[in-house]
């Protein structure tokens, strides 16, 4: 079975949504396998912009099946809002399945996220989550006793389960911040019964669906959310999200064995951004960072927060490309660097006086890392209308090639604007490789 995965190699927002939409025409199915409504994936087609938090970015193609698998934490009202806003934009959500095994973000998760996000997790920094209840929901999934899966919403004991969990959550949450906290079981039940009613046509055993697709040799595209540096096990812990957002998470989250996923496309921006807390060695808290923020419109798709901006960090990207088993890079937002006379790329760190090219495993070492830069000349020419790689200015081509060289993987796709059309394939793309 030809399985391809698109995965972000930085701290998220690498333009995965744009790429998935673009590649969808080559596939039968598009799969979101981890994360939840913390994601914000943007697809631009002509004058229309679609902001997707939950529904896979293949949804604009009516012939493709879009699937949300067990590894995702579901936010039912967000999904419904998305279905409605897509309908207003003329897109009918019908070829769509949601796993009955996916866990559901409940109101107590959002409250717990709000309370705990005020805590310092390292030094005097907090995680700066998206406040979508992601961490608390994954915590309950792993803890099992207070978890609710999507399939539970359709069972006769659903209200009893809410009652039992809500009683425990009232105690836990009020002890967390010393404030009384109460939940109305009747209200929560009727709210979620309403969501279940509307989402009933989509609930299914997606593991069985995908395993059948594997048997039938269908072409599946997996859409990563967040980025590999936010991976719970391999990212910049504790400043991470709560799922395996690097390439290693595809199989566990989707239920498709790893041996059927035979191509990984690593998505990178031509520079770096981060939203929320945590070390960011190449961050530019100066006019360069502001220039990138302005030109790249670097404001969060989900929370609207200004994104922190900086130079491309090849130490980090080389690590995440190797970790994710990347075959090919897709380099996005090249146009954003077009006005700069010179561009820096971080090729190593200096940590405690030593030159280091392996990405540090402890957040304190990363915080102490001083970037060692290589300077490359800019091209100072608009590239947003260029549609053949050979027609890019020579210095832009050199930049692309140098990034591929230092990261250690070939660049196969280059993006010079948000629209589908503003994309160059360095070689023809096929679903099977
Ligand atoms: P995702 O979370 O990885 O899907 O990325 P986001 O949608 O959060 O952020 C990427 C932003 O960049 C979106 O606003 C896209 O429309 C936009 N975008 C995508 N590719 C390009 C590009 O090549 N150049 C520019 N200037 N913007 C792009
Ligand atoms: P997409 O899919 C960028 C960040 C948050 C915070 C950390 C933990 O659009 O690339 P969480 O709410 O997940 O517990 O927050 O992770 N974060 C993202 N940053 N893009 C995302 O998704 C993100 N999803 C979570 O800002 O630092
Ligand atoms: Mg995003």
Task: Specify the long-range contacts of residues 120-127, CB closer than 8 Å, at least 24 apart.
Answer: 121/238, 121/239, 121/277, 122/238, 122/239, 122/363, 122/364, 123/367, 125/239, 125/277, 125/278, 126/277, 127/238, 127/239, 127/276, 127/277, 127/278
| CA neighbours closer than 13 Å in the CB half-sphere of residue 266 | 31
Rounded to the nearest integer, the mean pLDDT of the chain is 96
- pTM score above 0.75: yes
Opening angle at CA 68, ends 1 and 232, nearest 5: 95
Residues of the chain with pLDDT > 90, as a percent, come to: 94
pLDDT tens by residue, 391-414? 999 999 999 999 999 999 999 999
Position 93 pLDDT exceeds 70: yes
Position 13 pLDDT exceeds 70: yes
* Ion ligand 3, residues whose Cβ is below 5 A away: 13, 40, 301
Ligand 1 pocket residue status of 15, Cβ below 6 Å = yes
DSSP state of 210: H
Q: How many residues does the chain have?
A: 433
Please give the Cα distance from 276 to 173 (Å, whole number).
Answer: 23
Q: Which bin fits 287, alpha (ψ -120 to 50), beta or left (φ > 0)?
A: alpha
3-state helix, strand, coil in the chain (%, to 5): 35, 25, 40
pLDDT for the residue 119: 86
Closest-CA residue to 112 (of 127, 131, 138): 131
Tell me whether residue 109 is one of the annotated catalytic residues: no
310 backbone dihedrals φ, ψ, rounded to 5°:
-165, -175
Question: What is the chain's Cα-based Rg?
Answer: 22
Tell me whether residue 430 is one of the annotated catalytic residues: no
Ligand 1 pocket residue status of 22, Cβ below 6 Å = no
- Residue 14 confidence class, pLDDT cut points 50, 70, 90: very high
CB-CB neighbours of 254 under 10 Å: 29
pLDDT for the residue 177: 86
Burial of 216 (0-12, 13-18, 19+ CB in 10 A): exposed
Burial of 108 (0-12, 13-18, 19+ CB in 10 A): buried
pLDDT tens by residue, 164-184? 999 999 999 999 988 899 999
Please give the Cα distance from 295 to 346 (Å, whole number).
Answer: 21
> Which residues have CB under 8 Å from 405's CB, separation 6+?
none
- Strand 96-99 relative to strand 328-332: parallel, antiparallel, unpaired? unpaired
Ligand 2 pocket residue status of 132, Cβ below 6 Å = yes
Residue nearest to atom 27 of ligand 2 (CA): 276
């Amino acid at each position: 079975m030809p399985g391809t995965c698109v995965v972000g190699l930085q701290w998220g927002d690498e333009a995965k949504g744009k790429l998935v939409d673009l590649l969808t025409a080559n596939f039968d199915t598009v799969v979101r396998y981890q994360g939840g409504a913390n994601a914000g994936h943007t697809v631009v087609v002509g004058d229309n912009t679609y902001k997707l938090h939950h529904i896979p970015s293949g949804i604009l193609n009516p012939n493709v099946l879009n699937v949300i698998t067990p590894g995702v934490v579901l936010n039912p009202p967000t999904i419904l809002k998305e279905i409605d806003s897509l309908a207003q934009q003329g897109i009918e959500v019908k070829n769509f399945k949601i796993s009955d095994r996916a866990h559901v973000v409940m109101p107590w998760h959002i409250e717990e996220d709000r309370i705990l996000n005020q805590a310092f997790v390292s030094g005097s920094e907090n995680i700066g989550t998206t406040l979508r209840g992601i961490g608390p929901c994954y915590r309950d999934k792993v803890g099992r006793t207070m978890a609710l899966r999507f399939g539970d919403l359709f069972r006769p004991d659903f209200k009893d389960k809410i009652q039992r969990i809500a009683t425990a959550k009232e105690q836990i949450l009020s002890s967390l911040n010393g404030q009384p906290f109460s939940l109305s079981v009747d209200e929560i039940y009727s709210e979620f019964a309403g969501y279940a009613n509307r989402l009933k046509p989509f609930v299914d055993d997606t593991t069985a669906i995908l395993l059948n697709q594997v048997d039938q040799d269908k072409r599946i595209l997996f859409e990563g959310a967040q980025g590999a540096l936010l991976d719970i096990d391999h990212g910049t812990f504790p400043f991470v999200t709560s799922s395996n957002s690097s390439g290693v998470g595809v199989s566990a989250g989707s239920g498709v064995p790893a041996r059927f996923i035979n191509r990984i496309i690593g998505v990178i921006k031509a520079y770096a951004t981060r939203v929320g807390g945590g070390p960011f060695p190449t961050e530019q808290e100066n006019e360069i960072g502001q220039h990138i923020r302005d030109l790249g419109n670097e404001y969060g798709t989900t929370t609207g927060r200004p994104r922190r901006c900086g130079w491309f960090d090849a130490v980090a990207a080389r690590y995440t490309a190797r970790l994710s088993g990347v075959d090919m890079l897709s380099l996005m937002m090249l146009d954003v660097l077009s006005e700069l006379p010179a561009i820096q790329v971080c090729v190593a760190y200096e940590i405690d006086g030593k030159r280091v090219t392996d990405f540090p495993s402890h957040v304190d070492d990363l915080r102490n890392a001083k970037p060692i830069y290589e300077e490359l000349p800019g091209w100072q020419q608009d590239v947003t209308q260029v549609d053949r790689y050979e027609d890019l200015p020579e210095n832009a081509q050199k930049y692309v090639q140098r990034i591929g060289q230092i990261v250690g993987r070939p660049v196969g796709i280059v993006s010079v604007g948000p629209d589908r059309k503003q994309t160059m394939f360095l070689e023809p793309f096929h679903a099977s490789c």
